[in-house]
Amino acid sequence: MTGNESPSRSEDDRLAVVVAKPRAQDAIDALQAEGVYDADRSVSEHGADAVAIPVTESPENVSHREVVRQVGEPRLRTLEDHLHERGWSDDELDAAPGSWAVIGSVVLVDIGDAPRPGEVGRALLTMHGEADTVLARGPISGTHREPDVEVIAGEGDTETVHREHGVEYGLDLAEVMFSPGNKAERARMGDTVESGERVLDMFAGIGYFTLPMAAADADVIAVEHNPVAFQFLLENAMRNGVQDRVQAYRADCRDVLAEGLDAFGEAPTVDRIVMGYYDATESSGDGGFTYLDPAIGALAPEGVVHVHEATPESLAFERPIERIEAAATNAGRSVDVLDTRRVKGYSEGVAHTVVDARIR
């Protein structure tokens, strides 16, 4: 049985749609949007390369291999349920992780002070049949923003392909960072750019913002210094079929801007700049700004800059706006703030903020 055909079902039948394992998260998102995803049951493996995703009825708008019947008990709904079944005490449950994310075939979890991390990992694999590895996430550090992770359950394969909003991101979670909390912001950038715009992504990484913008027909100059992330950036541009709209450079973005974009075979200014780095507004110590000054110098008249910052809650959004205005004044230009957003919490008392500003 294929396509949207549905088997006859009795009142006790539980249905699931079978999809290729790499498509699992996209399919779950689409089934949730259609209102037919059954959250009371678990995703389970279905053969070597597929998963069965529980549904309340056969979907009309989500492609799938077949519809099958799943017979079994309703799943345990929460991680706490799973750990309680494994004999965890109330005190131990209080220390259990409160957040995690499925990235491709990997579950990335903030393990904190939870006891018996291996049991946490195995429980998460039970909850997420589309995943085969669980990583405990540590801090991001170093010039290249490198992650610190530890395999706590599963096969231990840290390389995966993550799919969201029609974009595929190939990455190795042991080598490069990926922030699940930035999902909406990545999608928003794809919706914000206009076809034919020239965009500079100063901290491109594996293509977090570059790929959705290029997929929306913008021409993107993507600069990334980390050699591992840069290799994934090149591969991801090809994976998504946007290599003709991405000009990628492995370099420090300050060096690229100091040379001038025309030195790299590009026009000397761009219509839009994305500064997806928490310290994007840092001072250079001489009254100027390390990244804002060269960015504004590369921005066309009436161009737009998207500035990310790790901002103390008490200074959001005052501090990043003041810094953007000061940098614009240094360049003899003015600022119109178009939008401000709090993307997520960065740490206690600190928010990941974004300011969109037109530089006149």
Look up tokens 């027909």; give the residue. 217
Q: Where in the chain is the domain with CATH 3.40.50.150?
A: 179-359
Here the tokens at position 357 are: 């500003």
Here the tokens at position 55 are: 């549904």
pLDDT at 88 over 80: yes
In whole angstroms, give the CA distance from residue 332 to residue 293.
11
Architecture of domain 179-359: 3-Layer(aba) Sandwich (3.40)
Residue 13 pLDDT:
66
pLDDT at 108 over 60: yes
CATH 3.30.70 fits 14-70, yes or no: yes
224 is in an annotated binding site: yes
pLDDT mean over 220-225: 97
Query: Is 169:162 a contact under the CB 8 Å cutoff?
Result: yes
Per-residue pLDDT reduced to its tens digit, 34-47 = 889 987 777 888 88
Residue 7 pLDDT:
42
179 is in an annotated binding site: yes
Fold classification of 79-157 is: GMP Synthetase; Chain A, domain 3 (3.30.300)
Per-residue pLDDT reduced to its tens digit, 287-305 = 899 999 999 999 999 999 9
Per-residue pLDDT reduced to its tens digit, 170-185 = 999 999 989 888 999 9
Q: Where in the chain is the domain with CATH 3.30.70?
A: 14-70
Here the tokens at position 332 are: 């003899």
DSSP strand pairing (44-45 vs 14-20) = unpaired
Tell me the whole-structure pTM to 2 decimals: 0.80
pLDDT at 190 over 80: yes
Q: Where in the chain is the domain with CATH 3.30.300.110?
A: 79-157
In whole angstroms, give the CA distance from residue 141 to residue 118.
25
Residue 293 pLDDT:
96
Quickly list H helices, the chain.
24-34, 79-85, 90-94, 117-127, 183-192, 210-215, 227-239, 253-259, 292-297, 318-330
